[in-house]
A and B are shown apart, each in its own frame.
Chain A
Amino acid sequence: MNKQLRIGSGIGIGIVLLLGVCLLTNCKGGTKAPQEDLKVDIKDKEAILQDIKQAEKIFQALPSPLESAMLIKSAGARFEAKLLNPVSNGNNYVTNKAMALNLGIYTCDLSFASLYEQTQLLIDYMNAAKKMADGLGILKAIEQEDIDRLEENINNSEVIMDIVSQTFMNSNSYLEDNGQPATAAIVLTGGWIEGLYISTQLVDMNDFNGNKLVGRIIDQKLSIDILINLLNSSKGNPAVDEIIVQVTRLKNVFDKIKIDTTPVRPEYDPESKTTVLKSEIKTDMTPEVFMELSKIVMEIRNSFVI
Chain B
Amino acid sequence: MRSVKTILLPAFMLIAITGYVNAQCKAFAKRECLPKLISYTHDGNYHAAVLVEGEEAELYKTFYSDMDYRVSIVGDEKLPDIEFRVLDANKNVLYSNKDKNFSNTWDFKLQSSQQLKFVIKVPSATRSGQTPLSGCVAIMFGFKLKR
Contacts and interface: CB of A to CB of B under 8 A. Distances in A.
B98 interface: no
Interface size class of chain B, counting residues whose CB lies under 8 Å from the partner chain: 35 or more
A173 B26 contact: yes
Given A70-B67, A277-B108, A2 B47 contact: yes
Given A38-B3, A263-B90, A277-B94, A57 B44 contact: no
A276 B109 contact: yes
Interface in A212-228: 216, 219-220, 222-223, 225-226
Interface string A1-19: 0111101100110110010
A302 interface: no
A165 B41 contact: yes
A288 interface: no
Contacts of B115: 222-223, 225-226
Interface string A267-278: 000001111111
B130 interface: no
B46 A45 contact: no
26 contacts: A2-B46, A2-B47, A3-B50, A3-B57, A4-B18, A4-B49, A11-B15, A18-B8, A28-B1, A61-B61, A71-B67, A75-B66, A161-B41, A166-B44, A169-B44, A172-B44, A173-B26, A173-B46, A220-B62, A226-B61, A226-B62, A264-B92, A274-B109, A276-B108, A277-B88, A277-B111
Interface of B: 1-4, 7-8, 11-12, 14-15, 18-19, 21-23, 25-26, 29, 41-51, 55-62, 64-68, 88-90, 92, 94-95, 106-115, 139, 141, 143, 145, 147
